[in-house]
Amino acid sequence: MFKIPVISGDEKLNSYIKDQCATMGNEYAPIFLKGKDEVVAYLKYELPEIKMMYFSDPTVEACAILEEIRKDPWLHYGGVIAIHDDLEEKELLEAMQDQNVIAVLRRKELERGFTRLMKILKQNKQILFQRGIQQHLLKNISASFVIDNDPLDITTYSNLVTNYLFNASLISKDTKEKLHVALLELLINAIEHGNCRISFDEKTAWLESNHDIMDLIRQKNADPEIRAKKVYFTYTISPESSRFAIKDEGDGFDWKARIGAKREAEPGLHGMGMTMASLYVENLVYNEKGNEVWFEVSHQKNESNTIPAIFDVSQERVFQDGQYVCSEGEESDYLYYIVSGNLYVYSKGKLVSALTPDDIFMGEMSFLLSNRRSATVVSKGKSVLIRISKQDFVNLIKENPHYGIFLARLLAQRLARLNLRTSRLNTEYLKLKHEQAETKPDQGD
């Protein structure tokens, strides 16, 4: 059961969310909060992956809560589902520009699409829940989804994927923004021009009349034949890159003629989607028919996207290739926060593991258990670390007790990875032993 903080004082809305979660088998448990101090305390100690906030509730200090979250982005990376009555969405998104937005919904849209939204989150739980450990356990993360002709779906999928890649430090903030635009444009094209058969001229006339394009899509979906069409979205996230495929059930288009024309796109009401997508992602190609597109995004290597503001960047240390960070047996009263790079760990002269920004800290075991290093650490290539003294970290935990919980969770994740590695080694050993026993000559003859 996943707990979801619902920041709202509206009893009617809260009752609706509670009832909807109950109809889904109580897989999600809403926790209703309102006061700023109450909300911030819950976020600090529970570190939820999802939080819902009703921005139109005057009793909720939404801006103050967002500011508290913004101060500590490292711990509060969970996605936000923003609910409102009739606010200006552009202004709302600007207020949440540093947040991991999953969806922005008017209240009537939430009541229409709540169940579908939660099902999408459930389908994507491998990149939404427990993401701090699954990166180390799975080499590739793949998923395929069948999407209805509904803008809510494509917005949610785009946000989930780009948020995950950024939080996992696989892509930079700039790449995240570009990928988000490309995904939205290509997915909406699949619905608009593919399944709904909305022509360029028809869309232009609709927009020039100051109508919302989403209303035209819903109008088209009144046709049962169009409503039955689907969009197929597939992604594969590997250590080196992320690959995507989007396919609709429309008639396709002459993409060769469009690319061959090489005309420069002119800004207008619309028509820039394909141009922006081709500029923002890599290896974008279409199938012959023109109703399926593939593209990819390369990952950055050994970089951390977020450095907690509480860490003193003046204590930053740069280590070059082959340079020793620490030596086994030496006394130490500090640990390091890993900003970037790759660190090799040696024990008794043997390479035992490697550390990257995914591991967050280096040296926390000797920091917690004793004042002597249990291993030698050498930089492989250039590495950037922030040095934190034991006294500073202790003071930090006193002032922010939730950092102690975070450190405990980090150690638990490392223990889980170690147990998994040990289990795999035991399985390989037993398999090898069994094979040797089967091939060993019979000594009884």
Residue 312 φ/ψ, nearest 5 degrees:
-80, 105
Q: CATH number of the domain that 200 lies in? A: 3.30.565.10
Q: Distance (Å, rounded) from C-alpha 63 to C-alpha 99?
A: 12
On whether residue 203 sits in a domain, the answer given is yes
Q: Distance (Å, rounded) from C-alpha 98 to C-alpha 17?
A: 26
Q: Please, which pLDDT band fits residue 132 given cuts at 50, 70 and 90?
A: very low
Checking if the pLDDT of 193 tops 70, the result is yes
Where do we find the tokens 């760990």?
A: 345
**Residue 75: per-residue pLDDT:** 62
Residues 235 and 267 in one domain: yes
Residues 370 and 422 in one domain: no
Greater pLDDT, 197 or 88: 197
Residues 25 and 39 in one domain: yes
Q: Which of 187-201, 384-398, 402-416 has the lowest mean pLDDT?
A: 402-416
Print the domain residue range for 419.
401-438
Closest CA to 146 of 72, 233, 267, 238: 233
Q: CATH number of the domain that 354 lies in? A: 2.60.120.10
Q: CATH number of the domain that 98 lies in? A: 3.40.50.2300
Q: Please, which pLDDT band fits residue 389 given cuts at 50, 70 and 90?
A: confident
Q: Which of 157-161, 197-201, 344-348 has the lowest mean pLDDT?
A: 197-201
Q: Distance (Å, rounded) from C-alpha 405 to C-alpha 41?
A: 13
The count of structural domains within the chain is: 4
Residues 338 and 278 in one domain: no
On whether residue 444 sits in a domain, the answer given is no
77, two tokens: 């990376």
Instruction: Give the residue-averaged pLDDT of 223-239.
Output: 91
Residues 66 and 187 in one domain: no
On whether residue 83 sits in a domain, the answer given is yes
Q: Distance (Å, rounded) from C-alpha 134 to C-alpha 429?
A: 24
Q: Please, which pLDDT band fits residue 136 given cuts at 50, 70 and 90?
A: very low
Residues 159 and 289 in one domain: yes
Residues 135 and 222 in one domain: yes
Q: Distance (Å, rounded) from C-alpha 32 to C-alpha 21?
A: 13
Residues 9 and 111 in one domain: yes
Residues 393 and 296 in one domain: no
Cβ–Cβ under 8 Å, residues 373 and 362: no
Residues 338 and 195 in one domain: no
**Domain boundary residue among 79, 99, 116?**
116
Instruction: Give the residue-averaged pLDDT of 108-135.
Output: 73
Q: How many CB atoms lie within 10 A of CB 62?
A: 21
Residues 59 and 137 in one domain: no
Residues 141 and 237 in one domain: yes
**Domain boundary residue among 268, 300, 332?**
300
Greater pLDDT, 56 or 271: 56
On whether residue 443 sits in a domain, the answer given is no
Checking if the pLDDT of 420 tops 80, the result is no
